[in-house]
Structure 1
Amino acid sequence: MPGLDEFARFSLLEGPTPIQRLHRLEQEIGEVLKGVRLFVKRDDLMGLGGGGNKLRKLEFLMGDALAQRCDTFITTGGIQSNHGRLSAAAAARAGLSCELVLTRVVPRDDEEYRRNGNILLDGILGAKVHELPATANALTFAKERATALKAEGRRSYVVGLGGSSPVGCLGYAICAREVAEQEKAVPGGFARIVIPNGSAGTHAGLAAGFAALRMDPAKVRSFTISAEAEDARRTTLDLARATLTDG
């Protein structure tokens, strides 16, 4: 996929993350596996901001923001958003201001949930946090905030939930290339790649990447964690197609 290297990209990873076989889990599950081997890709071992696969999207989102000479990165999520935390970390690394528009989508209002974990790290990493009720349209607020900053002479880069834009999904197209290379060292390869599907970006990017490699994108299977199955399927397919055509 030589075309991927033409896109603006800001390095946030220290190289490919390892794929490890889960021997003990296989032993625990036992004979019901019928010889199926289980592996996990350790994107939790990324160093920046506590690690996590959202950094893959942010390499291209930050690259695009810098290419457009933006000085502020604005994105959305829930109060304890991993994407929000890593956006704050990536923006700090890139020298950009970061604003997070976070909605209270989880029915919890205790002090531990509202002030610890990711929301605490967001502040430590220098992000300005806007907390909104669950019914608020976070993306609309983010765009309005960008307009207000423009009036002050600032230039903002706005991306929605999970950073799941065609540009962000390029990070998982790169991941597909990474997995395909690592798969060569695994006898028999991988029959399935199984992931959760929230904002659809991981699945869409991987599927687009495998399609670009002339490999079967259907080997990627996901379990929707927020949307109805049919809605998630449609969103993922549309985003995968946009990643392939627009990038």
Structure 2
Amino acid sequence: MDSLSIFSLILSAGFVVQMVMLILILMSIYSWTLILSKKKILIDTNKNIKLFHQNFSANIDLEKLAYQTLKKDINQSSMERIFSTGFQELTHTTSDFNQVLIIDAERAYRVMNTMANNEVNRLDSGLSILAMIASSSPYIGLFGTVWGIMHSFIGLASVKQATVAIVAPGIAEALIATAFGLFAAIPATIAYNRLISQVESINNKYTAFVEQLFVLFQRQNRQ
């Protein structure tokens, strides 16, 4: 019965308030779509990082690992792209893959950092929209509430005697807009903080890996 009364209040709300509710529903749907898709990407990325670290630890020979990585071409994971980009910058490959010319490890380090930053930017894309939804939804809902209450009180001007039964429905309709705003904002805020911390954690893993490779490249340079 409560849900039916709320539904009837939504249907009987003014046009502006209904438009505000519709906008907030669309924002909520978009934020949940973004949250779920981004969550899957981050889970897959963490899984690929773990698998690559296992493979990296098992392969002391960088040339062999680079050959295996380059064979994947477009199916490379983020860590494989960072590694292969750095190794290609470190070496000039001749027709024989095993014959390599060592180049400056500093250049490889800069290229790997650039690639790592690109990967982080890819993971970070869309989160700014989620932050915008989280911050703007309550204000959009509040606008609908203020507009609805304002028109409720304007409607009282034509009534000789104002009672709770007359005022309450209009105010209730207006307050639903605020509820919609919070419904869109709260999950977006929680998800944004959670996702941004996960992206930062992955960024730290990229940074540590690039530093580790830089040390290995410098050692190879001295050989």
TM (norm. structure 2) is 0.26
The structure that is strand-richer by fraction is 1
The structure that is helix-richer by fraction is 2
Tell me: higher relative CO, structure 1 or 2? Use CA pairs within 8 A at least 6 residues apart.
2
TM (norm. structure 1) is 0.24
Q: Which has the larger radius of gyration?
A: 2
